[in-house]
């Protein structure tokens, strides 16, 4: 089979990308396109891109909606340590049995020889370059120039595409989604990717980079919905921390890791929970909180006790909740993808420093109410939390 790889950051995926994929398939040069979202940004380290799982799932939802089996999205880069260069990714993906192409704009040709390991790249793929209307690159001239450097290793084919000139950076800053496919626009709105997502800019470089790395590390640990949830909580917690003048880095990290242990086998959760706080939590639904703290400590090297406590008590609350505890507790219930019916008032109260505690009260009252209706016993820690907020009973 002839496979065309198409790599990029896709933050977000837009109609320019779609026309590249369509054009490559229409050209007949390839039977299938495999899209590879980059897990990390090789040019501006750290904070410029949305966390990798957001971009991977946004691309996947979008392309599954628009194409059939002839377009696939690869998560290969999630499993490569450090920044992945094209040659590294190709080494991992190419096998003897297929023929490979690298889909790109013709504007890469003048600088292709400056890429890392261009010879190695050419040993795996034919360059399949898109020519936009009005494209001024002299493809024939560039081919000859590269031929002088790479000899017979160089193979270039060109195809025409419709004229989409779009930049993801403009979409991120303007919030104008008119050139974004419907599924991607829906994803961006659901996760408030370029609204709440911007909270990462308020964190320190080291916390922002840690957040992006944990997001990649949790990709194999959590299913799509939960992974995106836990990342949303991190970003919303950072936003609340900024609002309250609290520690943004700690909120970002505690929030994003709060559910990291939720899909571990129950036996492992039980063991981790015991190590964190003995027999304090025994109910299966609560285990992942202390287990998550212990996992964050052992696997992600988190030593800050305030962060570990905020993870430990995110399901039950406790007496003497710290500001960080409250931030994570509330962000867990209010992150943008949550759709419970009673969130409008809570979100409004949580949006101001003066009424933030009122949002916490409303949230706890709603949780206790749910427990009561389902006939689930309330954990003693939640009762302590409640009696501090309401006296004996929620009003």
Closest CB 42 distance from Fe ion, rounded Å: 32
When computed from its CA atoms, the radius of gyration of the chain, rounded to whole angstroms, is 24
Closest CB 229 distance from Fe ion, rounded Å: 6
Closest CB 268 distance from Fe ion, rounded Å: 16
Site for Fe ion in 247-276 (CB under 5 A): 259
Contacts of 10 (CB under 8 A, 6+ apart): 17, 35, 37, 55, 58, 59, 168
Q: Which is nearer to Fe ion, 109 or 330 (CB)?
A: 330
Q: Which is nearer to Fe ion, 11 or 332 (CB)?
A: 332
Binding string, residues 229-248; x marks residues near Fe ion by CB under 5 A: --------------------
Site for Fe ion in 322-351 (CB under 5 A): 332
Number of residues that bind Fe ion (CB under 5 A): 2
Closest CB 285 distance from Fe ion, rounded Å: 9
Q: Which is nearer to Fe ion, 11 or 259 (CB)?
A: 259
Q: Which is nearer to Fe ion, 77 or 259 (CB)?
A: 259
Judged on CB neighbours under 10 Å (0-12, 13-18, 19+), 80 is middle
* Strand partners for 111: none
Closest CB 332 distance from Fe ion, rounded Å: 4
Closest CB 121 distance from Fe ion, rounded Å: 42
Q: Which is nearer to Fe ion, 59 or 256 (CB)?
A: 256
Distance CA 128, CA 110 (A): 14
Question: Going by DSSP bridges, is the β-strand pair 71-73/99-105 parallel, antiparallel, or unpaired?
Answer: unpaired
- Going edge to edge, which strands form the sheet with 125-131? 71-73, 32-37, 2-8, 99-105, 125-131, 156-160
Q: Which is nearer to Fe ion, 208 or 222 (CB)?
A: 222
Contacts of 35 (CB under 8 A, 6+ apart): 5, 6, 7, 8, 10, 21, 59, 63, 71, 72, 73, 74
Interface ranges with Fe ion (CB under 5 A): 259, 332
């Amino acid at each position: 089979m002839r496979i065309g790889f198409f790599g990029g950051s896709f933050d977000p995926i837009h109609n320019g990308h779609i026309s590249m994929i369509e054009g490559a398939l229409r050209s007949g040069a390839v039977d299938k396109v495999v899209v590879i979202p980059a897990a990390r940004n090789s040019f501006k380290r750290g904070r410029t891109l949305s966390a990798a799982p957001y971009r991977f799932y946004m691309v996947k939802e979008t392309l599954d909606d628009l194409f059939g089996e002839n377009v696939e999205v690869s998560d290969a880069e999630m499993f490569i340590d450090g920044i992945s260069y094209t040659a590294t990714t190709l080494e991992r993906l190419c096998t003897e049995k297929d023929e490979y192409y690298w889909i790109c704009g013709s504007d890469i040709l003048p600088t292709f020889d400056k890429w890392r390991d261009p010879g190695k790249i050419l040993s795996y793929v034919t360059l399949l370059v898109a020519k936009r209307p009005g494209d001024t690159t002299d493809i024939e001239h560039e081919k000859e120039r590269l031929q002088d450097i790479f000899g017979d290793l160089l193979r270039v084919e060109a195809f025409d595409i419709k004229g989409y000139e779009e930049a993801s950076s403009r979409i991120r800053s303007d919030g104008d989604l008119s050139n974004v496919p419907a599924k991607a626009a829906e994803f961006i709105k659901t996760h408030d990717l370029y609204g709440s997502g911007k909270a990462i800019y308020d964190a320190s470089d080291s916390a922002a980079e840690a957040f992006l790395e944990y997001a990649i590390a949790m990709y194999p640990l959590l299913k799509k919905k939960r992974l995106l949830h836990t990342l949303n909580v991190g970003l919303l917690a950072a936003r609340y921390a900024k609002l309250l003048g609290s520690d943004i880095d700690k909120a970002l990290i505690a929030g994003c890791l709060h559910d990291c242990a939720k899909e571990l086998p129950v036996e492992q959760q039980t063991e981790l929970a015991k190590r964190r706080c003995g027999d304090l939590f025994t109910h299966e639904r609560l285990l992942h909180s202390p287990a998550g703290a212990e996992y964050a400590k052992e696997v992600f090297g988190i030593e800050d006790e305030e962060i570990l406590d905020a993870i430990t008590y995110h399901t039950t609350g406790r007496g003497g909740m710290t500001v960080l505890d409250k931030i994570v507790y509330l962000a867990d219930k209010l992150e943008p993808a949550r759709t419970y019916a009673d969130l409008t008032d809570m979100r409004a109260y949580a949006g101001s420093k003066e009424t933030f505690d009122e949002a916490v009260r409303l949230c706890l009252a709603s949780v206790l109410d749910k427990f009561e209706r389902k006939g689930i016993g309330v954990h003693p820690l939640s009762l302590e939390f409640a009696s501090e907020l309401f006296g004996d009973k929620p009003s």
